[in-house]
Amino acid sequence: MISKFIACVLMTLLLVLKPAMSVAPSCDAVITSFAPCLSYLKNSESVPSTSCCDNIRVLDQQLPEKQDRKNVCQCIKLAVHIIGTVNNTRVQDVTSNCGSTLYKFPLISPDMNCDNVQ
Ligand SMILES: *[C@@H]1O[C@H](CO)[C@@H](O)[C@H](O)[C@H]1NC(C)=O
């Protein structure tokens, strides 16, 4: 009975504390947050959508470490065959068009080099 209660308290604490910790996003989360940007990156919208920019600003806050940004690059590289061809001029501009200065997406291609990510 007591251990159940403690487990319950621990679970609640975990749920409460989780959003406060800065945790690098999973590959799935990265691809999901990247998805609303694709119509801009593929030239079918002239400006990035609000949801694209919102997601990029969140990514920005989640990626203060270079190693995390490299991991995001690896995620995108794995998804290149799903993402398909994008306009890399727009990949370079999407973050500044969203008013974000920290994170720059690497140029997206099947042989993108994630070691160069800053
Ligand atoms: C890529 O996007 C830029 C900026 O919007 C545009 O000027 C250029 O024509 C596009 N390139 C291609 C190949 O569609």
Phi, psi for residue 72 in degrees, rounded to 5: -60, -40
Q: Are 22 and 64 in contact (CB under 8 A)?
A: yes
Domain that holds residue 12: 2-116
First-to-last C-alpha distance (Å) of the chain: 51
Q: What's the CATH code of the domain at 38?
A: 1.10.110.10
Instruction: From the CA of 46, give the closest atom in ligand 1.
Output: 5
State in Å: Cα 52 to ligand 1 middle.
18
Distances (CA, A) of 32 to 12, 17, 36, 58, 76: 27, 23, 8, 12, 11
Ligand 1: atom nearest CA of 93 is 4
pLDDT in tens, 25-37: 888 888 898 899 9
Residue pLDDT, tens place only, 29-80 = 888 988 999 999 999 999 999 999 999 888 888 888 889 889 989 999 999 9
pLDDT the model gives residue 55 = 92
Atom of ligand 1 minimally distant from the CA of 88: 1
CB 79 within 8 A of CB 112: no
In total, how many domains does the chain have?
1
Q: How remote is the CA of residue 7 from the centroid of ligand 1, in Å?
A: 55
pLDDT confidence band for 6 (50 / 70 / 90): very low
Residue 81: both structure tokens together: 């065959």
Rounded CA separation 118/104 (Å):
8
How far apart are the C-alpha atoms of 60 and 76, rounded to whole Å? 15
pLDDT at residue 61, as a whole number: 85
